């Protein structure tokens, strides 16, 4: 009898040590160069950490974000995530314009598809992800926020898809998700004018779920997730799947967007617009 008790204790201890080793390994493996991660309870907090560039998305951020979302999906102890941006000014202020401007012929299509794939993984991952938005959520930042399950914004948040102002179009799902989030009429206006809207208008349009005081967006996101965690994990996952499946197949729209983003990025106007942006001058577009 004593041998049996000791045997089961050894098995339990071995299981505990293996579990601890897996957790520690995953924490080490998740040391990313452009993203900070922290676990609070059952939530993975993902902070895009490029405040000097207003957390602009470049290829490394996309790669790191992909790894963080994989970690979320594959970790049974994690039930959801919060995505936010470092610093006081910005959630994510768009794509890295210098990187887009440097794309050679044929590269822009892969660039757009890569970003689309990572954002779609957030949407399809089966776990709720809340965007905690303080400051600018422009271009790729707005697209990232829209790919999340829910959005909490500070009163200082600003939203927009300004790509047309520099000769580009939204390339990470913006032309597909914005109409689904706020309706085609207003979405078309914002996509064609490139104008920003403030937090109050974003709330009234249904682009965000709740507003909060600046600096409280992560805490409010965690509170919202705790309400979700009180429910059946399976039911939450199945609900998310049903919502996603209920939307008409966006694959065609995403492919058209990727093709058109590539055309825009490789065009004269795309090169001129991004170059003018970096040189802080007015672009001279030719429509070609």
Residues forming the active site: 143, 163
Tell me 176's DSSP state.
Answer: H
38 bridge partner residues: 45
Closest CA to 171 of 90, 114, 98: 114
Distance of CA 39 to the CA centre of its chain: 18
Contact 142, 175 (CB under 8 A): no
Residue 256 sits at the vertex; the CA angle it makes with 151 and 176, to the nearest 5 degrees, is 20
Rounded Cα–Cα distance for residues 142 and 54 (Å): 13
Helix axis angle for 107-124 and 251-266, nearest 10°, is 150
Rounded Cα–Cα distance for residues 260 and 274 (Å): 16
Contact 177, 183 (CB under 8 A): no
* 3-class DSSP state of 198: strand
């Amino acid at each position: 009898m004593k041998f049996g008790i000791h045997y089961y204790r050894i098995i339990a201890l071995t299981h505990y040590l293996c579990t601890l080793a897996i957790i520690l390994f995953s924490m080490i493996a998740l040391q990313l160069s452009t993203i900070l991660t922290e676990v609070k309870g059952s939530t993975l907090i993902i902070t895009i950490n490029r405040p000097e560039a207003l957390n602009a998305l470049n290829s490394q951020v996309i790669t790191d974000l992909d790894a963080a979302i994989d970690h979320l999906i594959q970790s049974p102890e994690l039930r959801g995530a919060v995505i936010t941006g470092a610093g006081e000014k910005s959630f994510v202020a768009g794509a890295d314009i210098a990187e887009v401007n440097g794309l050679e012929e044929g590269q822009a299509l892969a660039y757009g598809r890569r970003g689309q794939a990572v954002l779609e993984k957030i949407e399809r991952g089966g776990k709720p992800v809340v965007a905690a938005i303080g400051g600018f959520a422009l271009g790729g930042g707005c697209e990232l926020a829209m790919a999340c399950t829910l959005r909490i914004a500070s009163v200082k948040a600003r939203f927009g898809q300004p790509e047309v102002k520099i000769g580009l179009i939204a390339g990470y799902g913006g032309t597909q998700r914005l109409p689904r989030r706020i309706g085609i009429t207003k979405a078309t206006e914002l996509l064609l004018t490139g104008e920003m809207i403030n937090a109050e208008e974003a709330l009234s349009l249904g682009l965000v779920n709740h507003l909060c005081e600046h600096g409280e967006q992560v805490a409010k996101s965690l509170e919202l997730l705790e309400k979700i965690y009180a429910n059946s994990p399976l039911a939450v996952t199945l609900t998310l799947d049903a919502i996603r499946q209920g939307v008409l197949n966006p694959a065609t729209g995403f492919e058209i967007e990727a093709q058109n983003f590539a055309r825009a990025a490789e065009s004269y106007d795309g090169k001129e617009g991004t170059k003018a942006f970096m040189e802080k001058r007015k672009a001279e577009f030719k429509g070609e």
